[in-house]
Amino acid sequence: PVLLGDVLVCPTVAAHQAAEGGRELDAELSLLVVHGVLHLLGYDHSEPQERAVMQQLERELLEEYA
């Protein structure tokens, strides 16, 4: 195993974001964990094209493992 780093998720922030986005808390928590792991793997979203790639990967991973 390789240690890439840590992913920390604040449940209070996740609950707030879920409510704002009209999502279930579990779905928001899953998204945040996947998003964090993608950052550890080197993905970013500061540019529009990077954002599109990262969001597509998030959707694919969440669909596959949900």
* C-alpha gyration radius of the chain: 12
Instruction: Please write the tens of the pLDDT for every residue from 12-62.
Output: 999 999 999 999 999 999 999 999 999 999 999 999 999 999 999 999 999
Q: Is the pLDDT of residue 2 over 90?
A: no
Whether the model pTM is above 0.85: yes
What pLDDT sits at residue 66?
Answer: 74
Encode the chain in three state secondary structure: CCCCCCCCCCHHHHHHHHHHHCCCHHHHHHHHHHHHHHHHCCCCCCCHHHHHHHHHHHHHHHHHHC
What's residue 25's pLDDT? 97
The per-residue pLDDT for 1 is 82
Given a cut of 90, is residue 3 above it in pLDDT? yes
Q: Please state, in angstroms and rounded to a whole number, the distance separating the CA atoms of residues 10 and 62.
A: 19
